[in-house]
Amino acid sequence: MSIIKYQKNPIISISQVKPSRPDFEVVGVFNAGTATMNDEIVLLLRISERPINTDKTCVLAAVYDKNTDDLITMKFDKSDENYSFDDSRIISSGEQTYLTSISHLRVAKSKNGYDFEIEDKPALFPQNEYEAFGIEDPRIIKIDDDYYITFASSSYCGVVTELAKTKDFKHFERLGNIFAPDNKDVVIFPDKIGGMHYALHRPSTSALGKPEMWIASSPDLVSWGGHKRIAALRDGKFDDGRLGAGAVPIKTEEGWLEIYHGATKDNCYCLGAMLLDLEEPWKVLKRSDEPLVEPSETYEKSGFFGNVVFSCGLIQSGDFIKIYYGASDESIAVVDMKIDDILNNLK
């Protein structure tokens, strides 16, 4: 199978992104939703920032405060035994976990799909209690003249999935929470099936369950039901730890082609593919035995959180696709593939 990682990867790095405020620094640009508009490719980037910290004895966390309608900075002393700082991404205690960075969404555009101009200001920024710890990992579909965006929001309430829409990627309307906590990796199919909208999602279950892929249906994109598990973890494979939807599914003659992410039990994230039935998308017809894309380059193996290849979007052009993916939770890269090659390698 011909898999061509762009020779100038990563195509977007931290150094290209301006912080949203002078007292912050950008620590990651990754996991972008994708769309086309006016002959341009649009990426809705996840930008991860943190307060600049010159005090090595403490860790800072930025949190949206609904009372002040602004971000506040919380300070945690590393010597405080009530908190754990073992994971650089989080500050945790027995009662509450905080994130060491806070994410927002920002627009980037390109004519050729490789060279992007990144806007200086956020497109969607935390602004309510469900977004207190940030918003992340957007996926985009277009219906008529509107682009609909699903994204995960983190807060004291847990992780919910919100829906927003825009016509121009300048003005956005939030449509509210569509999946309750804890749920993420929500990807809506681009077309109705049997008069209903469908979405893939990934509940984070209790000790009795596992982080696996589910499907739900909706008459209006807001009210979701009919939940079914469609894909489980597989022992000994690249998706034995967790799995979730990645890009918006592509409609082919053989079925819906879904590029998804799978992680091993030791948190190595790869991309795989599965084929879903055209009329009954809860039926998995075929699935990757081996990963399509796995961490192999330095920018994929080392970074803010290493050994990660994670996609939220792709762009189709005839028989070919460009998969845009986050590398090590720090940068964005792109890989080109032929759809038939992927289909022919599913079992």
Contacts of 37 (CB under 8 A, 6+ apart): 147, 168, 169
> Any idea what DSSP says for residue 340?
H
Q: Which residue, chain included where needed, has tokens 């290849």?
A: 309
Cα–Cα distance, 192 to 217 (Å, whole number) = 10
Helix H or strand E segment including 286: strand 284-287
Contact in structure between 106 and 118 (CB atoms under 8 Å): yes
Contact in structure between 335 and 323 (CB atoms under 8 Å): yes
pLDDT in tens, 298-323: 999 999 999 999 999 999 999 999 99
If phi > 0 it is left, if psi is from -120 to 50 it is alpha, else beta; for residue 18 that is: beta
Contact in structure between 162 and 153 (CB atoms under 8 Å): yes
Contacts of 198 (CB under 8 A, 6+ apart): 188, 189, 215, 216, 217, 218, 281
pLDDT in tens, 204-225: 876 778 999 999 999 999 999 9
Q: Is residue 68 part of a domain?
A: no
Cα–Cα distance, 305 to 295 (Å, whole number) = 12
pLDDT band for position 93 (50/70/90)?
confident
The residue type found at 70 is: D
Q: Is residue 304 part of a domain?
A: yes
pLDDT band for position 87 (50/70/90)?
confident
Q: Is residue 111 part of a domain?
A: yes
Q: Specify the pLDDT at position 25.
A: 98
Residue 1 has pLDDT above 80, yes or no: no
Q: Is residue 248 part of a domain?
A: yes
β-strand partners of 215: 200, 228
Residue 145: C-alpha distances to residues 141, 167, 202 (Å): 11, 6, 28
Q: Is residue 204 part of a domain?
A: yes
* Cα 132–Cα 204–Cα 228 angle in degrees, nearest 5: 125
Contacts of 155 (CB under 8 A, 6+ apart): 129, 130, 131, 132, 133
Q: Is residue 268 part of a domain?
A: yes
Cα–Cα distance, 7 to 114 (Å, whole number) = 11
Q: Is residue 65 part of a domain?
A: no
Average per-residue pLDDT in the chain?
Answer: 96
Domain extent for 130: 3-46+102-344
Q: For the whole model, what pTM was predicted?
A: 0.96
Q: Is residue 73 part of a domain?
A: no
pLDDT in tens, 171-213: 999 999 999 999 999 999 999 999 999 999 999 876 778 999 9
Q: Specify the pLDDT at position 95.
A: 83
pLDDT in tens, 101-150: 999 999 999 999 999 999 999 999 999 999 999 999 999 999 999 999 99
Residue 32 has pLDDT above 80, yes or no: yes
CATH code (residue 18) = 2.115.10.20
Q: What share of the chain is helix, strand, coil (3-state, %, to 5)?
A: 5, 55, 45
3 state DSSP class of 47 = strand
Could you give the number of structural domains in the chain? 1
pLDDT band for position 275 (50/70/90)?
very high
On the question of a cis peptide bond just before residue 182, with omega within 30 degrees of 0, the verdict is yes
Q: Specify the pLDDT at position 208.
A: 74
Contact in structure between 89 and 102 (CB atoms under 8 Å): no
